[in-house]
Amino acid sequence: MTTTTEAPAVATRKLTYVKAFNEGLAQAMREDDNVFVAGEDVAGYGGVFRMFDNLLDEFGPRRMIDTPISEAALVGLGVGAAARGLRPVVDLMFMDFIGVCLDQIVNQAAKMKYMFGGALSVPLTITTASGAGLGAAAQHSQSLEAWLAHVPGLKVVMPCDAYTAKGLTVSAIRDDNPVVVMLNKVLLGSTGEVPEEIYGIPLGRAHTARQGSDVTVIALGRMVGEALAAADELSAEGVEIEVIDPRTVQPLDTETMFASVRRTHRVLVVHEAVTFGGLGAEIAAQIQDAVFDYLDAPVLRIGAPFSPVPFSPVLEKAYVPDRARIAQGCRRLLERS
Amino acid sequence: MTTTTEAPAVATRKLTYVKAFNEGLAQAMREDDNVFVAGEDVAGYGGVFRMFDNLLDEFGPRRMIDTPISEAALVGLGVGAAARGLRPVVDLMFMDFIGVCLDQIVNQAAKMKYMFGGALSVPLTITTASGAGLGAAAQHSQSLEAWLAHVPGLKVVMPCDAYTAKGLTVSAIRDDNPVVVMLNKVLLGSTGEVPEEIYGIPLGRAHTARQGSDVTVIALGRMVGEALAAADELSAEGVEIEVIDPRTVQPLDTETMFASVRRTHRVLVVHEAVTFGGLGAEIAAQIQDAVFDYLDAPVLRIGAPFSPVPFSPVLEKAYVPDRARIAQGCRRLLERS
Amino acid sequence: MAQRASTASKKSAQVSAEIIKDLHERMVRIRLFETEAGKLMEAGRLPGFLHLYVGQEAVAAGVMSALRDDDQITSTHRGHGHAVAKGVGFREMYAELYGRVTGACLGRGGSMHINDLTRGMLGANGIVGAGVPIAVGAAFAARYKGEDSVAVTFFGDGATNIGAFHEGANMAAILGLPVVFVCENNGYAEFTPQSGHMLLTDVADRAAAYGMPSVIVDGMDAVAVHRAAAEAVERARTGAGPMMIEAKTYRYFDHQGVKGLRHPYRSDEEVAEWKSRDPIDLIEARAVADGTATRPELDDVWRRTRDEIAEAIAYAEASPLPDPADLLLNVYSG
Amino acid sequence: MAQRASTASKKSAQVSAEIIKDLHERMVRIRLFETEAGKLMEAGRLPGFLHLYVGQEAVAAGVMSALRDDDQITSTHRGHGHAVAKGVGFREMYAELYGRVTGACLGRGGSMHINDLTRGMLGANGIVGAGVPIAVGAAFAARYKGEDSVAVTFFGDGATNIGAFHEGANMAAILGLPVVFVCENNGYAEFTPQSGHMLLTDVADRAAAYGMPSVIVDGMDAVAVHRAAAEAVERARTGAGPMMIEAKTYRYFDHQGVKGLRHPYRSDEEVAEWKSRDPIDLIEARAVADGTATRPELDDVWRRTRDEIAEAIAYAEASPLPDPADLLLNVYSG
Ligand SMILES: Cc1ncc(C[n+]2csc(CCOP(=O)(O)OP(=O)(O)O)c2C)c(N)n1
Ligand SMILES: Cc1ncc(C[n+]2csc(CCOP(=O)(O)OP(=O)(O)O)c2C)c(N)n1
Ligand SMILES: [Mg+2]
Ligand SMILES: [Mg+2]
């Protein structure tokens, strides 16, 4: 089951990011009885971020499972259930907790189909909240997509708004592979237009969030909104930037990026993760390889400095990339001839 | 204790890679009583790769600790002991097992100094064997340095021969930070000249393993030897390649790379890890950023294809980069004008 | 297998007046520190998360009163009580909650990473269970160096379901290390009752899986906790290996922050019942009854502590913020 | 807590002749498969690692004879015995060891990933303990779908020290899932004796930490294992939840490969003593003694199996290698 309903054209009402996620999940559960949710406080409490609000009422304890604090067993439960034909949605609460269960994600879920000679699929969805900005400090604020995107067999999506939170979640659940859905904590309460019906957003296809001719900005997750804000600021200065939201970082739709860079000749990649070894490196490496002759300037990367996420808001603010740094990066790129 | 004795100039005898490691470790243990080793079958058995042969005899059960199969507790033991002033060497046997203990490495060891406001150091060394080539399949063959190098607070070294296996291990143990020493399984029995006395190789400094003017090849770990072999092959064709061995991938000595590329104008990065999201991406991204105007061709990356490590030797051979692919990559770079 | 609470608390009669006063003061210090922190949070003056310790004071006070300064502890997300009881200063603790450069972590760590190496406080921890193996390592270091200090690791009922707890307990047992495992069983892991996360009634029964003795104590009775801890610490210090203490206790506030109105995961009656056995009320009643302290003496502890806290909060608020130019400070040593 | 071996084996008298023969045949199949694999490896004809099961046959045979085809198992690095006993074919198993495209994993997995979904064999596993939670998930799926199949997870004595075991056991217990936990206690984790990795004598005692019943059986007595497994499976199938079986057994060969000369981690006497209770010898003696089978009938099983193995090895050797052009096959679905 890898078909994805394309999103309907007209959105009808505003919803928060977390409610959009919740609605997509609920609709996917209605669509397929094989979908169930397991995690810590996902059922009775509805999830510490309210991601699973009301789902226990509708779907009951058969399909909404509260588990002990046992992330390795939790993901393993998902792997085993997926191997036996269910479509588990397993919640890891904070992305930072993957350190206690990465073996099940990377050595089991991701490799099982391959190692088993294709004998099965592992249609497992892992949901988690990532990102800094809430003063949650070094162990509750990380963006670790670079680890996961480096693992053959996994897919990874990073919704940037309510609309993509719903559509990517639906597609993740419908997909026959293990998919990690990285929600962003700061975006949870942000609102956006969201169609009422169920829809999937194709995995592996980037979205051009804004068209522009001067600089291409490739932004991951929450940075899409920051890039769009920077675009407004720059537009007032007469600079038009194109904003590309990969939506899925594994597989990564580089064709859309290459096509854009062929037109703009300048490109900036921005993500919350630390710059060193972040996905900006992969994107930069691919772009300079594929469209080298089109580049008027090196690919510029903006990410977090090489340190753990600091607690104090004054440091955290300086740590996480924002619209100002993006705008400044674009200006720097344009200065370079 | 971050000073490192520079290596003596003259080597006196040949030693295998694993014996060189073992000698460095033993000398570091003699040098400092705070150094001890813990891991599965490291004491009585001497390690499944013979990394710890004879150390129990010399250092006794106080300093050579066999542990249960409990990697999270094993690394945690190291973190706690390091926090209390010891210099633990903790062995993870196969690098693939870090999925069961990554939290202790990444959220505890790496971040502790920072999170604690600098109140302590964590002089922990983690040794492990990485790489494919032994038919050990998908869960015993990975090269996961990209994960670790993405983590602020960690250092990562990848010895490419007996000489560096000893010197980098000594420096890792003497360093006041958590350092992961990635030995390569295929290299264990390979021999090289190794000085008898204790010596450290400075962390964070790349080594130019061969000088050349036509192409710069940056090779990690075992790929250094493959690159040198490719260099011989190419030299016969009149092409001189420069081979750079970063030795330490975190921190990464990019200055040495930039300087080389400014002379050669062409660069290839090769590692065993899958290309997507591998350290080749970071190196490529930094090079195209720093020496953009010197590049006559895009930075070329060679790594494993995007799949788990296959078992069948015929597949594994096709999977892991080798001298032939490196030579071919160099030729491609030179064709490009 | 595990000694029952009754056994352990029977002995609680025989502690000195000095210890009673010490326990009382530690508990008052925690109670006031936490109550004020909760108020500051509700007033929007503190960034980040707070997992408050109110209700569980007898555990931290009871254990810490049995420790020396050079004994080491590892703590949890709910770590303020342990830090206060181990002697970490109010000033650096509040300054940390405020994210100031004068804080215990220079403002870098916040509530979940408060530590004080001079006090043997090896840190709160944001990852459930992660402190357990770290304490095992600290105990290893002590024995390795020939010192007789011990390590105590605190963890919740919920934390005993995670792998790190299991591995750490077995590691301490097989290596015979001086570690005391203190389970603060407050009946809940976040919003999940104990009955929803394990089949056992007594977490202490898990100790047997490691060949480790265990004892159950009334976690609202600081004296009982103190006695159990003193025994376990003595065992560990004299080379008899690790032991587990399960303290049955309760948190008054929500899992995070002060009041949780969202999900009625526990009843008002349940909360009220536990509060009727408030650990500070209990020790005060006892102290007054047996003449250990007078009411005015006890009140004085509250007053002094309140003053100290007011001063510490003022200090924190007056402290400078960290300088963003120092973002990379302390990422590496050397 | 755990029933003692004696209790469980007493009942071993009363199984049918059919089951005795079935157990015998499964064990012979494992013994010969492994012995030949070991020879092939020593002859340098097989790539990679082999963790051979010889000596432990009674466990796989005893458990698998109590299972249905739709019951699921998860296995370990030492997985050949489980696969053979669950009915996976010799051809695809040898072909996999040879890295041929006709292998159980199309040559992609090798020894440590042999699986057969049509037989409920959810895979060997190269990561110690990792199969435990996967079996819990398989059991979850069965109950979710309203099926009455069960899941069995095999693991060693050493594996019970890793977090995944602990978490998986507790998860199965609290969710009341139909999982049977089979600890094959062969006394060693690689080269470390049990006494070097845990303080307990009986791994079964760990089950109590999860509120799970347990039983200890003589792991050299296939009938005893069969009976214990049948009981545990019946419990699980009828909704009574998980249970643990500890089978005391022994591996004849080295941890990896056939002979380990490097480190004398166990004595010749110890090996000889266990071999004197060889599980196949035991069942053959019993079968002949009680008239269940004649010596010629038993010999015939060996002969037939040898022939089948010779044919399977020839098949494997004649099979094509995978095509490097297909390197990316099966990385993703769809
Ligand atoms: C590995 C991990 N999983 C989940 C969490 C989220 N979390 C924080 S506290 C908590 C509950 C802990 O329960 P318990 O151990 O009983 O301690 P208590 O909060 O009751 O003091 C959870 C699930 C975490 N921090 N780390
Ligand atoms: C997480 C992990 N740690 C270590 C290993 C290496 N290893 C493979 S088998 C083994 C010993 C397992 O012992 P036990 O569980 O008793 O099984 P046995 O080999 O005796 O069948 C070890 C340490 C591994 N594969 N995975
Ligand atoms: Mg609790
Ligand atoms: Mg064993």
Residue B28: which CATH number? 3.40.50.970
Chain B partners within 8 Å of D111 (Cβ)? 137
Nearest CA in chain B to C163: B72
Joined tokens for residue C228: 């159990």
Write down the pLDDT at residue A145.
98
Residue D41 has pLDDT above 70, yes or no: yes
Whose CA is closest to A274, among A204, A327, A220?
A: A220
The closest CB to that of A99, out of B107, B298, B300, belongs to B107
Note whether D136 contacts A77, CB cutoff 8 Å.
yes
B57 and B132 part of one domain: yes
The closest CB to that of C263, out of A45, A100, A140, belongs to A45
Note whether D113 contacts A86, CB cutoff 8 Å.
no
Write down the pLDDT at residue B7.
56
Spatial distance between the Cα atoms of A310 and A331, rounded to a whole number of angstroms: 28
What mean pLDDT comes out for the span B221-226? 98
User: D206 touching B, CB under 8 A?
Assistant: no
Which residue did the predictor score with more confidence, C144 or C13?
C144
Write down the pLDDT at residue B39.
98
User: B147 touching A, CB under 8 A?
Assistant: yes
The domain locations on chain D are 7-319
Give D210 to chain C, closest Cα distance, Å: 6
CATH number for position A238:
3.40.50.920
Note whether B81 contacts C141, CB cutoff 8 Å.
yes
Kindly indicate the confidence band of residue A336, based on its pLDDT and cuts at 50, 70 and 90: confident
The closest CB to that of C324, out of A70, A311, A318, belongs to A318
Q: With a CB-CB cutoff of 8 Å, which residues 139-158 of chain D face chain A?
A: 139-142, 144-145, 151
* Cβ neighbours of D334 (radius 10 Å): 12
Per cent of chain D over pLDDT 90 is: 94
What mean pLDDT comes out for the span A2-24? 77
Pocket test for ligand 2, best of D49, D82, D154, D190 (most atoms within 8 A of CB): D190
What architecture is the C7-319 domain classified under in CATH?
3-Layer(aba) Sandwich (3.40)
The closest CB to that of D170, out of C164, C198, C211, belongs to C198
Note whether A307 contacts B102, CB cutoff 8 Å.
no
User: C175 touching D, CB under 8 A?
Assistant: no
What mean pLDDT comes out for the span C280-299? 97
Distance between the two ends of chain C, CA-based, in angstroms? 49
Quote the ligand 2 centre to A131 CA distance (angstroms): 36
Domain span holding position B289: 207-336
Of all atoms in ligand 2, which is nearest to the CA of residue A103?
Answer: 1
Write down the pLDDT at residue D5.
42
Note whether C161 contacts D170, CB cutoff 8 Å.
yes
User: D106 touching A, CB under 8 A?
Assistant: yes
Give the residue whose CA is nearest to atom 18 of ligand 1: C156
User: D91 touching A, CB under 8 A?
Assistant: no
Which residue did the predictor score with more confidence, C263 or A52?
A52
At A207, give phi and psi (nearest 5°). Answer: -125, 130
Write down the pLDDT at residue B105.
98
Joined tokens for residue C249: 């206790």
Write down the pLDDT at residue D14.
77
Chain B partners within 8 Å of C151 (Cβ)? 80
Nearest CA in chain B to A278: B150
User: A103 touching B, CB under 8 A?
Assistant: yes
Neighboring chains of A (3 or more beta-carbon pairs < 8 A): B, C, D
Joined tokens for residue C36: 């004020």
DSSP state letter for D320: P
pTM value > 0.90: yes
Residue C2 has pLDDT above 80, yes or no: no
Select from B69, B70, B101, B107 the residue whose CB has the most chain A CBs within 10 Å, as the one to mutate to test that interface: B107
B272 is catalytic: no
CA distances from D159 to B68, B69, D153, D155 (A): 9, 7, 12, 6
Chain B partners within 8 Å of D164 (Cβ)? 100
Residue A239 has pLDDT above 70, yes or no: yes
Residue A6 within a domain: no
Residue B328 has pLDDT above 90, yes or no: yes
Residue B123 has pLDDT above 80, yes or no: yes
Residue B201 has pLDDT above 50, yes or no: yes
Round the average pLDDT of chain B to a whole number and report it: 96
Select from D155, D165, D170, D175 the residue whose CB has the most chain C CBs within 10 Å, as the one to mutate to test that interface: D170
Chain C partners within 8 Å of B202 (Cβ)? none
- Say if residues A232 and A243 touch (Cβ distance below 8 Å): no
Ligand nearest A104 Cα, by number? 2
Spatial distance between the Cα atoms of A255 and A205, rounded to a whole number of angstroms: 9
Spatial distance between the Cα atoms of C303 and C322, rounded to a whole number of angstroms: 32
Write down the pLDDT at residue B290.
98
What mean pLDDT comes out for the span C142-156? 98
Of the residues B195, B229, B246, the one at which a domain ends = B195
Residue B315 within a domain: yes
Residue type, D176: G
Give the residue whose CA is nearest to atom 7 of ligand 1: C128
DSSP state letter for B308: P
Spatial distance between the Cα atoms of A201 and C267, rounded to a whole number of angstroms: 43
Please pick, among B23, B40, B71, B282, the residue that the annotation labels catalytic.
B71
A158 and A286 part of one domain: no
B301 and B269 part of one domain: yes
A181 and A224 part of one domain: no
C74: left (phi over 0), alpha (psi -120 to 50) or beta: beta
What mean pLDDT comes out for the span D196-215? 98
Place of tokens 């495209």: D101
Of the residues A171, A195, A219, the one at which a domain ends = A195
Note whether A80 contacts D106, CB cutoff 8 Å.
no
Write down the pLDDT at residue C259.
87
Chain B partners within 8 Å of A147 (Cβ)? 147, 150
- The residues, any chain, with a CB within 8 Å of residue B253's CB and separated by 6 or more, are B204, B205, B206, B246, B247
Spatial distance between the Cα atoms of B74 and B66, rounded to a whole number of angstroms: 10
User: D109 touching A, CB under 8 A?
Assistant: yes
Neighboring chains of B (3 or more beta-carbon pairs < 8 A): A, C, D
Spatial distance between the Cα atoms of B152 and B110, rounded to a whole number of angstroms: 7
Q: What are the pLDDT digits (tens) for D50-82?
A: 999 999 999 999 999 999 999 999 999 999 999
Write down the pLDDT at residue C14.
77
**Residues with a CB atom less than 6 Å from ligand 2:** B 40, 69, 71, 93, 97, 100; D 77-78, 126-128, 155-159, 162, 186, 188-190, 255
Of the residues B175, B195, B215, the one at which a domain ends = B195
Give A313 to chain C, closest Cα distance, Å: 7
> Lowest-confidence range among B91-100, B287-296, C80-89, D251-260?
D251-260
Select from A115, A125, A150, A250 the residue whose CB has the most chain D CBs within 10 Å, as the one to mutate to test that interface: A115
Ligand nearest A68 Cα, by number? 1
A208: left (phi over 0), alpha (psi -120 to 50) or beta: beta
Q: Three-state SS for B299?
A: coil
B252 and B108 part of one domain: no
Q: Three-state SS for D82?
A: helix
Residue A147 within a domain: yes
Note whether C327 contacts A305, CB cutoff 8 Å.
yes
Pocket test for ligand 1, best of C34, C80, C128 (most atoms within 8 A of CB): C128
Give the residue whose CA is nearest to atom 20 of ligand 1: C189
Place of tokens 């490529």: B284
Write down the pLDDT at residue C9.
44
Per cent of chain C over pLDDT 90 is: 94
Give D100 to chain B, closest Cα distance, Å: 7
Whose CA is closest to A129, among A207, A86, A189?
A: A189
Residue B6 within a domain: no
Q: Is the previous residue joined to B61 through a cis bond, with omega within 30 degrees of 0?
A: no
- Say if residues A65 and A92 touch (Cβ distance below 8 Å): no
Residue A72 within a domain: yes
Write down the pLDDT at residue A10.
65
Spatial distance between the Cα atoms of B233 and A290, rounded to a whole number of angstroms: 28
What mean pLDDT comes out for the span D204-222? 98
**Residue B60: exposure state from Cβ atoms within 10 A (0-12, 13-18, ≥19):** exposed
Q: What are the pLDDT digits (tens) for A62-83?
A: 999 999 999 999 999 999 999 9
A164 and A286 part of one domain: no
Q: What are the pLDDT digits (tens) for A129-186?
A: 999 999 999 999 999 999 999 999 999 999 999 999 999 999 999 999 999 999 999 9
A220 and A99 part of one domain: no
Write down the pLDDT at residue A42.
98
B185 and B37 part of one domain: yes
A316 is catalytic: no
B144 and B216 part of one domain: no
Residue A231 has pLDDT above 70, yes or no: yes
Note whether A45 contacts C191, CB cutoff 8 Å.
yes
Residue D4 has pLDDT above 80, yes or no: no
Number of domains in chain B: 2
Residue B17 has pLDDT above 80, yes or no: yes
Write down the pLDDT at residue B3.
42
